[in-house]
Structures are given as C-alpha cells and as structure tokens.
Amino acid sequence: MLSHKDICKELGKKILIYPFNEKSIKGASINLTASKFAWNALKEKETAYSEEHNEITILSQSTILVETEECISVSTKIGGTYHPRVKQVSRGIGHVATTLDPGWIGPSLIALHNHTTEPIKIKPGDGILSICFHYLKSKSDFTTSSNAPGRTELLTDLQDTREVFDWLDENYKKDPKLLKEKMVNSEEYKKFRTEELIRSGWKGFISWTNIIKIVSSLIILSVIGLILYDKFDSVKLMEDNFTNTFFAGAIGTVIGVMITFIGKLLIIKKRR
C-alpha cells in the first residue's frame, strides 16, 4: 500500500490525476470529489443534481451514481481500492466499495447509498471517498479497454446523459499522455512540486539517480585521465599518475554534484 511519500513520488509518473489538489493527499490515500453528474440509480434513473441549487440529493433509502470530478490514470504496476470517508459515513452515506484496475484512465463512477430516513444533500466539489493505491508484485497484462472512461456503458439508460458523454469524451480523459500534460502544467501541481523540492532539501538531492550520475561522472573522467596519460608505461602510470587520475575523478564527482544541485535550484526558481 502506498504511503503519502510513495504517492508523492509516483505523481506525474505512475499516478496521474487532474484536477490536482495537494490538500486531497492524505497519509495513505487521495480524496476524490463529486462532479455535478449524478443520477438516482433506482428512481427512473433521473438526474440527482439540481442546477438551481447546485446540489445533489440522495433520497432516503436510495442509491445514486455519481462521476468523480477527478480523472485518474495509473500504470499497469499499480492498482487501487475505493473507501468511504468518515465525514460522509457519519451522515449516513454508505459507499459501495469497488476497485481501481491497473492501467485504468478516466473519472470514476461511484455508487453512494443513503441509509437514513431523510434526504441527504451534497455539493459538487465535496469529498465523497478516498482511493488507496497498491503496488503490484508483477506488471499486469490485463487490459481495461472494454471499460470506457467513467463507465459510460453503464449510463446508456440514465436520463440527461448527453452533457456527461461530451464531458467524458474530452481527449485527456482517454489518453495518459494528454492527462499528464494537463496535470504537470497546472499551477496547483507546479506549486506542489516546488514546495516538495524545497521541503526535501538535501534529502531530495541524495537519491539513487543522483548517485548514479555522480558515479558515472567519476568513472568517465577517470577513464579520460587514464587516456591522457597513456603515453606513460603502465608501471609509471600507476606510480606517478595515480594521484592525477584520482584527482581527475574527484573533480568529476564535484562537477556532477554541482551540476545536479544547480539544476535543482534552477527548477525551483523557474517554478516560483
């Protein structure tokens, strides 16, 4: 199960989400919000959303289907599960738990049930559930292509679906590359990444990627040092030029550190 740190690491890579809201990221989950597209599942499949009052009504002892505002895409090495939020459960709203398939892209169609004897109202933008992510032991080769974004195949007999079909048909809701572009170019995500870089400080600098860069620089410049001194015989090279070769590698290491660190500072400055 992915923690807050794991989720932050995978955002923009194996986990894509738009619209993005940093406050939605919790200790081991991300909160998802309701869109205005909601229907009474049992009462003639009519819309549950009131344009006039900008609210969704869940009738007593009834179930609604609601699309999440967020579009999500995950790689084939990540799956997920949907869970009810305590805030909504305490009001009497029960979420019918479902799963997130690896390789999925699109908004999520969520079923919410009102267990009380009175109608319950929620507004578009309200948090309705949380999604937890899990790493898979091996990459999934199962394809979810038969399930359209937002599960439109389940909406064909619902009322007032023309607008939602147009909404779900937006290109980025079907293409991970376009979704990533929307996400990483959003001001909220840029701000989040900048603050993450600042918070991480030197901890963010010390990573396997940076270590590989530094070691590579050391090896490359050491080889260059050996080539430059190849006019000497091997014994003399070892005796007289070992120090020079060592310093050549050391200089490469310093350069690698400086380039990586300066690059990080430039990224932070640019995002500010």
The residue-averaged pLDDT of 182-205 equals 79
Calpha distance 83→89 (Å, rounded): 10
Query: How many independent structural domains does the chain possess?
Result: 2
pLDDT at 167 over 90: no
pLDDT of residue 237: 47
Residue 19 located in a structural domain: yes
77-89: pLDDT as tens digits: 999 999 989 888 8
Calpha distance 85→127 (Å, rounded): 8
Instruction: Tell which wins on pLDDT, 209 or 170.
Output: 170
- Partners of 11 in the β-ladder: 15
Q: Within this chain, do residues 144 and 224 fall inside the same structural domain, yes or no? A: no
The residue-averaged pLDDT of 51-79 equals 94
The residue-averaged pLDDT of 140-161 equals 65
Residue 189 located in a structural domain: no
| Mean pLDDT, rounded, of the chain | 81
pLDDT of residue 161: 72
Report cis status (omega within 30 of 0) of the bond before 19.
Answer: yes
Residue 133 located in a structural domain: yes
Residue 188 located in a structural domain: no
Q: Within this chain, do residues 160 and 259 fall inside the same structural domain, yes or no? A: no
CATH of the domain at 159: 2.70.40.10
Q: Within this chain, do residues 22 and 73 fall inside the same structural domain, yes or no? A: yes
Residue 221 located in a structural domain: yes
Residue 71 in tokens:
């579009």
Residue 190 located in a structural domain: no
What percent of the chain stands above pLDDT 70? 67
4-53: pLDDT as tens digits: 999 999 999 999 999 999 999 999 999 999 999 998 887 667 889 999 99
Q: Within this chain, do residues 97 and 215 fall inside the same structural domain, yes or no? A: no
Q: Within this chain, do residues 113 and 135 fall inside the same structural domain, yes or no? A: yes
217-238: pLDDT as tens digits: 767 766 776 666 555 555 454 4
